[in-house]
């Protein structure tokens, strides 16, 4: 793990201390509430540099990812599943189409390895006139505690250069959003929020988002 942190620190310095790693979730929603989903890692060339350095450590959960992808492909309401996961080159992409909001949430449960129940909150609530993303910070804190990952996190300073970006392409023009961090673009048909992992994991910022249409 020390090697991983040193490599990441060197790579960030090499890229001029700019924010160069984004974990992006992008959801496209149609008027009938079907749509498409993509989770991807954007590294602005950092992945190629890390691949050349070699010695990339194993990332927790990657061994189970192939199995989760297969489950995703057989899941009702999910189609056109695509994935491109290469840990060595820091490439990570999962994409699929969903028939309705329930299918989308069931797919996200599968990716997260969570069994759906009445006690588990939806990852994304989609209605004709609103879209709601719950606060993620408590979920991330619980995941870190359950998997004993706190000792494997990069330093607080490095977490400033790793972002979580959430993008929603809406079926109707956006009238208002709850978050002051949300940016409305593309003729009020796109909403983007972005937080550093330091804000999510250390400062535990409330990233609740409600989009009214």
Query: Confidence band (pLDDT; 50, 70, 90) for 90?
Result: low
Q: Nearest 5°: CA angle at 174, between 173 and 180?
A: 155
Q: How far, in Å, CA of 65 to CA of 171, rounded?
A: 31
Helices (H), 15-56: 46-53
Q: Which of the pair, 62 or 95, is modelled with greater confidence?
A: 95
92 pLDDT more than 50: yes
- What are the two backbone dihedrals, phi and then psi, of residue 143, each rounded to the nearest 5 degrees? -60, -45
Predicted local distance difference test score (pLDDT) of residue 42: 80
81 pLDDT more than 80: yes
C-alpha pair distances (Å), 115 with each of 51, 65, 110, 208: 34, 16, 8, 22
Give per-residue pLDDT as tens, 122-167.
Answer: 889 999 999 999 887 777 666 666 656 556 565 666 777 788 899 9
Give per-residue pLDDT as tens, 23-43.
Answer: 899 999 999 999 999 999 887
Interval 1-18 mean pLDDT? 42
């Amino acid at each position: 793990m020390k090697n991983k942190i040193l490599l990441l620190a060197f790579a960030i310095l090499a890229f001029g201390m700019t924010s160069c790693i984004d974990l992006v979730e992008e959801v496209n929603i149609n008027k009938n509430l079907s749509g498409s989903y993509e989770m991807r890692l954007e590294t602005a060339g950092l992945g190629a540099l890390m691949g050349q350095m070699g010695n990339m450590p194993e990332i927790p959960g990657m061994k189970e990812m192939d199995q989760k992808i297969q489950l995703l492909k057989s899941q009702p309401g999910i189609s056109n599943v695509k994935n491109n996961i290469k840990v060595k080159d820091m490439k990570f992409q999962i994409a699929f189409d969903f028939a309705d909001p329930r299918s989308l949430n069931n797919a996200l449960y599968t990716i997260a390895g969570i069994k759906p129940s009445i006690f588990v909150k939806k990852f994304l609530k989609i209605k004709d006139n609103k879209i709601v993303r719950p606060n993620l910070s408590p979920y991330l804190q619980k995941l870190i505690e359950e998997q004993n990952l706190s000792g494997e996190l990069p330093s607080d300073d490095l977490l400033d250069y790793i972002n979580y970006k959430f993008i929603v392409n809406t079926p109707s023009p956006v009238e208002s959003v709850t978050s002051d961090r949300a940016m409305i673009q593309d003729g009020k048909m796109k909403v983007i929020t972005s937080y550093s992992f330091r804000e999510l994991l250390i400062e535990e910022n409330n990233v609740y988002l409600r989009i009214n249409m």
